[in-house]
Chains A and B, each alone.
Chain A
Amino acid sequence: MSRPHTLDTADLLPRRRRDWLFALGVTIVSTVVVLAIVGPYVGPYDPTMTTPNVSMPPPSLSEIPGLFGAWVSGSLEAPPHWMGTDASGFDVFSRVIAAPRTDLVIALVANGLSLLVGVFLGLIAGYYRNAATELMMRVSDVMQSFPVFISAMVLVALAGRSTTNIVIALAFVYTPIYVRLTRAEVMSQKVRGFVEAARALGNTELSIAIRHVLPNSLTPALIQASVTIGFAILLTAGLSFVGAGVRPPTPEWGLMISTGANQIILGEWWPSVFPGIAISLTVFGFAVLGNALERRYDAS
């Protein structure tokens, strides 16, 4: 006998003190979201403008409290460079907190798009099994076997390095995943007892598909989405790193790491390390969130 797999909103609240991991994930993700909204405005410097201080290292740990006090009391002429500046003179800190907007917007829009298209196609492919849907699945398979990074790179580089194109490239890469996930879930939900019961009550097939099957088939896709958003950020950063992503001087973590890479050998670590820490924590936060949702889903 099968127990139903569901995930209600009641499940999303963290339970018990031991779920610190989930709380951590939520904290990280909310911070990034907040930065995406206000980041470009709250930094001490304009993230797209250079300063005359080139390659300045960040203050050492012992200096920070004093510097902070001086800054708050207003006795400094210019705000300190908390994370130093890079070889072009950009303030690293301002750019690090301005970058989430670029990365998150791309990741969210791309995922939203592929989720919408993917779920819609997956619902159709799962519900009707005929030549047309089989063909669609073969096409989706082919799309999925494209080497991810290289295809994204090709799409963006050849269409032009704009945010829109990055979004389209990512959506292209991620849609087959959602199609496959949704289709599998629809196929297994379609034969559930309550679907047959709905038919016996006199529902039309369309009504069954929308009111009964669809809401119960979304969970795997949604759980995947929270993880894929993180991967989309990684992908955007990677693309920018190799020069096939956003254009300078847009603040973007991957781009910052790439421009800072040349300095690493010379020992100037700060232009690359700080943005790296930022990505590292952000994607980790999304992964934790996705995993927590997955665990709740498995447990129910």
Chain B
Amino acid sequence: MHREAAAVSERPEARAARAVLSVENLVVGYPVAGRMVKPVDGLSFRVHEREVVGLIGDAGSGKSTAALALLGLARAPGKILGGRVDFEGRDLLKLPDAEIRAIRGRDIGIIVQNPRSSLNPMLRVGKQIGYAYQAHNEANAATARRKAVEMLRMVGINDPESRAEAYAHELSGGMAQRALIAMALSSRPKLLIADEPTSGLDVTIQAQFLDEMWNTVQRTGSAILLITQELGTLANYCDRVLVLHEGRIVEDAPVKQFFADPQHPYSQQILKLQRERGTSLGLPPIYTGTKPLLATRDLRKTFAVRHTKKLIQAVDKVSLQIGRGETLGLVGESGSGKTTVGRCLLRLLEPSAGSVVFDGADLVKLPPTDMRRYRSKLQIVFQDPFDSLNPRWTIRQILTEPLDLHTELSTSEKRRRAEELIDLVDLDRTLLERKPRGLGAGALQRINIARALACNPEFIVLDEPTSVLSPRARVGLIELLVRLQKELGISYLFISHDLTTVRYLCHKVSVMYLGQIVETGTVEQVFSRPRHPYSQALLSAHLFPDPSNRRVDQSIPAALEGEIPSPIDLPHGCYLASRCPHVVDECRATPQRLEPVGEGQEVRCWRAAKGDIQAFGGVHG
């Protein structure tokens, strides 16, 4: 697939391009306990014709609030307090209701973060798109329906006729988001505002979606304001970058300049890891000793589907090894089984088969009381920092709970240990007397880590710990984890779908697909020379924050078709056979095994092991 060439801002005619949208001093506030809190406080920027502008900033509320305010809307109890939003010469904030309704949807379209909850759950999707179309164009019901189907086809939905009859809850996340785009673009708006449109979507689906959005917009000639927390999205799709901090724009630069030479301290913070590590892949290898700290052999986990006799093979013969002080990354998309593996290692889920040998003992065979004692040595940090902490307990109680369970320390010793722990994660001691409510995601995640460290564990499973954090908090957390590993010698299993963070944190990495490990090796090996077709697709779909290598400027090789199949009824042969561009009959017939391809790298693909498939599509150093 070929795409439009160079960034808009580099084209000579761009200098003279008109501003489609011009925002001046926008202020939005909402009352909290008598005061007025202003997530948007003096926002000013412009968007030009056919430009793709990225907006990056901290935790959600400021950016989404700003996006809605551009349309003159504010979520209750918020209010737009001042400023000017100039669209084609008119101030949107001063227009009467009927006029601004005409502009919304017709001239400015918007897609938002939670596509399924933004669709009316009680109407069929096609009908809703039809209504949106009828709101701005003369059309009867039949025409509207035809238009809806046409739009669904344009945004890349297969079989749009029947999809139009579906209800919102019947669509997957990716589909629902595409339905929203269909609605937003149905009247060919001049500006599309996309508010974190890919949060929650799988890596390959993200790439598919953003590609399609980009293509569609090229056809309709719209400009895009793309709001995101991902540096990768910015680097690959945007012409210009705006940084939102404390309610206003603190940096406004063309994309290459932003990544190469950020001016504002906040931008520098976000880009810190990027700039420090540059293009290095993974951490330098360390000596881990001859015996691994933790090793699993042929780990399997099967789930029964309720009310049927079917089984889901969530984890299929997974064997891993992690040495002391080492970090193994486990990457994959939804259905890969990576989360299940993490839980099985700790027996939070009981493995159906296989062994988990930790420091010589097979954990799977231990009776519950013995297993409980081992829990001081193996810990886990979960994805959702809010949900993992008991909202009624103080931080101190949360941190001393493991001490109560595994040690015989006196009360004063426990107090001191809690203080040590909170110092260790760079948080203020005053937090100890507070409850989790009101603290930010980054701080809460640090508390989760502190709790995991309480009894000096040797191994910690990190289950997507940074995926809900803002860019700045993410940087902080990764630095903390690296530092703790160096100081305390803890081994990590780092489960993630975000290859960028894996790159910063891990020594080795294993790629999983539908319950199997399909490739394993050092980060350098797998990221720069991926051998398995799935790894290749994953890596090429992943948006690395490198603006000199924009996705939209290249032709993408070997993309995978379709969506990830259901883990029930897995095929006999290779699981990727239905989507792989290199498939031949033998692939479907024989179950694939992991085979070494030199220097510790292993691949589950007979063709790759034979050398039939070129190693490419990775990150170029």
Contacts and interface: CB of A to CB of B under 8 A. Distances in A.
A28 B599 CA distance: 79
Contact of B437 (A6, A194, A202): A6
A6 B387 CA distance: 12
A202 B387 contact: no
Contacts of B373: 202
A215 B379 CA distance: 25
A4 B375 CA distance: 26
Given A4-B436, A6-B437, A215-B392, A201 B402 contact: yes
A143 to B, nearest CB: 28
A114 to B, nearest CB: 24
Given A199-B348, A202-B376, A202-B405, A216 B391 contact: yes
Contact-size category for A: 20 to 34
A240 B591 CA distance: 78
Contacts of B405: 201-203
Contacts of B387: 1-2, 4, 192-194
B401 interface: yes
Nearest to A300: B437
A200 interface: yes
B384 A193 contact: yes
Given A1-B468, A8-B435, A201 B390 contact: no
B389 A194 contact: yes
A200 B375 contact: yes
Residue from A3, A8, A197, A212 with most neighbouring chain B CB atoms (10 Å): A197
B389 A202 contact: no
The prevalent SS among residues of B at the interface is loop
Given A8-B435, A216-B391, A198 B401 contact: yes
A4 B391 contact: yes
A88 B9 CA distance: 96
B346 interface: yes
Nearest to B372: A202
B366 to A, nearest CB: 12
Contacts, number: 73
Contacts of A193: 382, 384, 386-389
Contact-size category for B: 20 to 34
Contacts of A200: 346, 348, 375, 379-380
A6 B391 contact: yes
Interface in B366-416: 372-373, 375-376, 379-380, 382, 384, 386-392, 401-402, 405-406
A209 to B, nearest CB: 13
A141 interface: no
A5 B379 CA distance: 26
A11 to B, nearest CB: 10
A17 B256 CA distance: 54
B360 to A, nearest CB: 20
Interface in A56-109: none
Contacts of B391: 4-6, 194, 216
Contacts of A202: 372-373, 375-376, 402, 405-406
Contacts of B96: none
A13 to B, nearest CB: 13
Given A1-B384, A201-B375, A216 B401 contact: no
Given A200-B348, A202-B406, A203-B405, A6 B382 contact: no
Interface string B342-359: 000010100000000000
Nearest to B402: A201
Nearest to A207: B405
B389 A16 contact: no
Given A3-B386, A202-B376, A212-B390, 4 more contacts: A4-B436, A5-B391, A193-B384, A203-B405
28 contacts: A1-B468, A2-B387, A3-B386, A4-B386, A4-B387, A6-B391, A6-B392, A6-B437, A8-B435, A15-B33, A16-B34, A193-B388, A194-B388, A194-B389, A196-B348, A196-B388, A197-B382, A197-B388, A198-B401, A200-B346, A200-B348, A201-B379, A202-B372, A202-B373, A202-B375, A203-B401, A216-B391, A300-B437
9 pairs of A and B residues whose beta carbons are closest in the complex: A193-B387, A202-B375, A4-B391, A193-B388, A6-B391, A202-B372, A194-B390, A197-B388, A202-B405
